[in-house]
């Protein structure tokens, strides 16, 4: 008999075969209730002494919670059972016996710290609310990929080991590459730009990246995933922002369409953003922060407290997603183009969801001499980036793009306080396993 998922079973199903984990067990002597869980839900298995043989009854009595079983039986309606129906078994086979005690309770009836849950992530993810996060994440990726494919972008897969850091500085992980030193990439940035010199014009990638930050905050990871895009023949950063907001809208629409059950499980009312998204300049953002009592020195980054103040004001007007654009040149990486009208600004933007910074992007420098100058201004040696700079010698079109943190996107829209909850197996300065 072909297996059915619990979500496919109802009172009219007749004889069925289900397989999954024994999530719960109640022994009332002559009758026993098992709750079988699979990836789609749960169903009650009702084992009555006067209906089954002694072998099935003994097998059910000896089961430990979280053992994996296969059950064949008749479905009957029962309003008091989970999902409104139950299975009366004709056969019950144990596929894998679980040890006891369990390292944690996947039902969530007994509290466990986040550290304990992450140490036992395989067990933690048996919880339907935890797993719902990754149904949303899957839908977010599908939405992004679908929009890019429909709009003529090519998916690429860039190297994750490189000869130098993407943005310089100390936030890189060195590795031993045979007898040489190499680094894990901080982003796909340089290679996305090389694809513009290659004539690809429109590329995207959903990619891992690594930053050796020592930050131990609820919003930082050492290994993260990014939705990256790069495109040629743009006028300015506004062309990139238009793509960014359309991608975000497509991601939200796909989540609401294909992961609505997961949103219900998480009790999230997610709204599709109206386009165009709200746009603030860096100066306007500082002005709002100042009104709320958080003074930011011009040229500095906007701290989290100020960002919360800005987000609070914008939320009052219905703006969850919003851009902050025209950042100071000192706050942006070397490859961003200074504003030709005022060189103290760059043609860049950040995309935020409430107080979460999700994405950075803008127009890149495509002039070789200016690019070399910016590299030197940031204390790096252009000769160490020959493979990158060579691409600008033989015809590089005006181009730009963005990199959006997938982990942050998921955590922010689901109102998850700690970003580690939005990652299957998170990596931080203190966590390298499982």
Is 408 marked active-site?
Answer: yes
Which residue in 67, 226, 408, 412 is the catalytic one? Answer: 408
* Residue 377 structural domain: 123-422
Is 279 marked active-site?
Answer: no
Asked if residue 168 has pLDDT above 80, the reply is no
Number of independent structural domains in the chain: 2
Tell me which of 22-31, 224-233, 391-400, 403-412 is least confident. Answer: 22-31
Say what the pTM is: 0.95
The dihedrals phi and psi of 336, each to the nearest 5 degrees, come to -80, 140
Query: Does some domain include residue 432?
Result: no
Which residue in 167, 223, 254, 357 is the catalytic one? Answer: 357
Is 211 marked active-site?
Answer: yes
Tens of pLDDT along 207-233?
Answer: 999 999 888 899 999 999 999 999 999
Is 357 marked active-site?
Answer: yes
Neighbours of 269 (CB within 10 A): 7
Asked if residue 166 has pLDDT above 80, the reply is no
Closest CA to 35 of 45, 27, 48: 45
Which residue in 88, 107, 121, 220 is the catalytic one? Answer: 220
Is 213 marked active-site?
Answer: yes
Q: In terms of domains, do 128 and 73 share one?
A: no
Q: What is the pLDDT of residue 257?
A: 98
Which residue in 137, 145, 211, 374 is the catalytic one? Answer: 211
Q: In terms of domains, do 303 and 338 share one?
A: yes
Q: In terms of domains, do 42 and 89 share one?
A: yes
* C-alpha–C-alpha distance, residues 258 and 151, integer Å: 21
Q: In terms of domains, do 414 and 361 share one?
A: yes
Query: Does some domain include residue 114?
Result: no
Tens of pLDDT along 80-125?
Answer: 888 889 999 999 999 999 999 999 999 989 999 999 999 999 999 9
Q: In terms of domains, do 83 and 133 share one?
A: no
Is 62 marked active-site?
Answer: no
Tens of pLDDT along 39-52?
Answer: 999 999 999 999 99
Q: In terms of domains, do 65 and 150 share one?
A: no
Q: In terms of domains, do 92 and 187 share one?
A: no
Which residue in 65, 360, 364, 374 is the catalytic one? Answer: 360
Q: What is the CATH number of the domain that holds 409?
A: 3.30.930.10
Q: In terms of domains, do 65 and 132 share one?
A: no
Which residue in 219, 354, 364, 399 is the catalytic one? Answer: 219
The two tokens of residue 54 are: 């002694």
Place of tokens 């901080």: 186
Neighbours of 379 (CB within 10 A): 9
Q: In terms of domains, do 315 and 268 share one?
A: yes
CB contact set of 370 (below 8 Å; sequence gap of 6+): 337, 338
């Amino acid at each position: 008999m072909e297996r059915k998922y619990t979500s496919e079973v109802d009172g009219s199903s007749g004889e069925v075969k289900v397989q999954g984990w024994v999530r719960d067990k109640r022994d009332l002597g002559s009758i026993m209730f098992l709750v079988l869980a699979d990836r789609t839900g749960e169903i009650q298995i009702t084992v009555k002494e006067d209906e089954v043989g002694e072998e099935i009854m003994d097998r059910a009595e000896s089961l430990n919670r979280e053992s994996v079983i296969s059950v064949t039986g008749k479905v009957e309606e029962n309003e008091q059972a989970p999902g409104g129906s139950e299975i009366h078994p004709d056969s019950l086979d144990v596929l894998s016996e679980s040890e006891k005690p369990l390292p944690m309770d996947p039902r969530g009836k007994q509290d466990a710290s986040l550290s304990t849950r992450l140490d036992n992530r395989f067990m933690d993810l048996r919880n339907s609310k935890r797993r719902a996060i990754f149904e949303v994440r899957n839908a977010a990726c599908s939405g992004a990929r679908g929009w890019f494919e429909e709009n003529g972008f090519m998916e690429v897969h860039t190297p994750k080991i490189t000869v130098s850091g993407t943005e310089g500085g100390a936030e890189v992980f060195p590795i031993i590459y045979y007898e040489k030193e190499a680094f894990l990439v901080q982003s796909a940035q340089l290679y996305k730009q090389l694809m513009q010199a290659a004539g690809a014009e429109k590329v995207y990638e959903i990619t891992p990246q690594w930053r050796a930050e020592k930050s131990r905050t609820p919003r930082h990871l050492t290994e993260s995933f990014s939705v990256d895009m790069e495109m040629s023949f743009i006028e300015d950063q506004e062309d990139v922002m238009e793509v960014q907001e359309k991608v975000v809208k497509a991601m939200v629409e796909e989540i609401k369409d294909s992961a609505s059950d997961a949103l219900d499980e998480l009790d999230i009312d997610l709204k599709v953003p109206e386009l165009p998204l709200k746009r603030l300049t860096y100066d306007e953002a500082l002005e709002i922060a100042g009104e709320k009592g958080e003074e930011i020195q011009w040229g500095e980054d906007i701290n989290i407290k100020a960002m919360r103040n800005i987000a609070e004001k914008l939320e009052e007007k219905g703006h969850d997603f919003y851009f902050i654009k025209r950042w100071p040149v000192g706050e942006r990486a070397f490859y961003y183009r200074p504003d030709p009208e005022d060189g103290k600004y760059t043609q860049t933007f950040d995309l935020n969801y409430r107080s979460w910074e999700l994405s950075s992007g803008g127009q890149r420098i495509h002039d070789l001499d200016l690019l070399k100058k910016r590299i030197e201004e940031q204390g790096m040696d252009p000769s160490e980036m020959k493979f990158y700079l060579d691409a600008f010698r033989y015809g590089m079109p005006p181009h730009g793009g963005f990199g959006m943190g997938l982990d942050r996107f998921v955590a922010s829209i689901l109102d998850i306080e700690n970003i580690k909850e939005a990652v299957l197996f998170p990596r931080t300065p203190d966590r390298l396993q499982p």
